Structure 1
Amino acid sequence: MKKVTSILLICFLLLMGCTSKQEEIVESKGVRQVYTKTISASGYANKLTLSGNIVPTEVVRPSFKISGVVSHVLVNEGDFVKKGQAIAQMDQSDYAIKVRAAEAELNAARLQIETEIPAKINQAKTQYELTKLTYDRVQTLYEEGAAPRSQLDEISAKLVLDESTYNQAMDAKIIAETKLQMAEAALDLANANISDTTIYSPIDGVILQKVMTSGETTSAGYPVVVIGQINKVWAEIGVPDEYINTLKAGQKANVYVYGIDQSIQGTIDEIAFLADTKTRTFPVKILINNSDKALKPGMITKVDIQLSNGEKTLIPLSSVMHLSAGSSVYVYSDETGTVSLRIIETGEIIKDKIEVLEGLAADEKIVVEGQFLLREGEQVMAEEMVE
Structure 2
Amino acid sequence: MLHRRFILALTTSLVLGTAGAAEGIVLKPAQLEGLGIRTTPAGEGLAATAGQLPARVLVPVDQMRIVASPMSGRVESLSVAEGMAVKAGQEVAALSSPDALQLQREAMQAASEAALAQSAYVRDQKLYKEGLIPEARLQASRAAAAQAGALSRERSQVLSLSGAKRGRAAGSLVLVAPIDGVVLEKMVEVGERVDASAPVFRIARLSPLWLEIQVPLATADRLKPDARVDVPGVGVSGRVIGVGHAVDPVTQTVMVRAEVTDNAEALRPGQMVSAAIADTAGGGIDIAASALSHEGGRTLVFVRTEGAGGEVSFEAREVKVLEVSGTTASVQGVQAGEPVAVSGVSGLKALLTGVGAQ
TM-score class, shorter-chain normalisation, is: 0.5 to 0.7
- Aligned residue type for 1:255: V
Q: Residue by residue, what CA displacement relative to the aligned partner does 1:270-297 show, whole Å, maximum 9, x if unpaired?
A: 4225535757624321414337x44222
Q: Distance in 2 between matches of 1:302 and 1:118?
A: 77
Distance 1:197 1:182 in 2: 24
SS of aligned partner of 2:188: coil
Counterpart Cα distance in 2 of 1:180 and 1:76? 43
Residue 303 (structure 1) shift: 1.5
Residue by residue over 1:53-74, the C-alpha shift from the partner in whole angstroms, topping out at 9 and shown as x without a partner, is 2223564223347212142333
Cα distance change on mapping 1:284 and 1:35 into 2, 3 Å: farther
Given the alignment, which residue of 178, 197, 212 partners 1:236?
212
Alpha-carbon distance between aligned partners in 2 of 1:109 and 1:286, rounded to the nearest angstrom? 53
Does the 8 Å CA contact 1:272/1:283 hold for their aligned counterparts? yes
Query: Whose helix proportion is higher, 1 or 2?
Result: 1
Q: Does 1:298 align with 2:270?
A: yes
3-state SS of 2:278 partner: strand
Answer whether contact 1:265 1:288 (CA < 8 A) is retained.
yes
On the 8 A contact 2:92/2:177 being kept in 1, the answer is yes
For the residues of structure 2 that align with 1:104 and 1:235, how far apart are their CA atoms? 53
Return the alpha-carbon distance in structure 1 between the equivalents of residues 136 and 289 of structure 2.
102
Aligned to 1:188: 156
**Count of aligned pairs between the two proteins:** 274
Q: What CA distance in whole angstroms lies between the structure 1 residues aligned with 2:248 and 2:289?
A: 35
**Which among 224, 235, 260 is matched to residue 247 of structure 1?**
224
> Cα distance 1:254–1:62, how it changes in 2: closer, same or farther (>3 A)?
closer
The one of 60, 63, 70 aligned to 1:66: 70
Q: Map of 1:1-387 to 2, 5 A cutoff?
A: 31-32=9-10, 47-48=48-49, 49=51, 50-57=53-60, 59-64=63-68, 66-71=70-75, 72-91=77-96, 94-115=99-120, 118=123, 122=127, 166=134, 168-189=136-157, 191-192=159-160, 193=162, 194-195=164-165, 197-214=173-190, 215-220=192-197, 222-244=198-220, 245-249=222-226, 251-256=227-232, 262-268=233-239, 270-272=240-242, 274-276=244-246, 281-290=254-263, 293-307=265-279, 308-309=282-283, 317-318=290-291, 320=293, 348=323, 371=347, 380=356
Deviations 1:80-137 (A, max 9, x none): 33443322222255424433443334334433553489469959x9688xxxxxxxxx
Partner of 1:12 in structure 2? none
Secondary structure of the 1:272 match is strand
Answer yes or no: is the 8 Å Cα contact 2:124–2:138 preserved in 1.
no
> Structure 2 stretches of 5 or more lacking a match?
16-20, 24-41, 166-171, 302-319, 333-342
Kept in 2, the 8 Å contact 1:235–1:255? The answer is no
Per-residue CA distance 1:152-184 (angstroms, 9 max, x = gap)? xxxxxxxxxxxxxx4652443244223322342
Kindly indicate whether the alpha-carbon contact (under 8 Å) linking 1:60 and 1:226 is maintained by their aligned counterparts in 2. yes
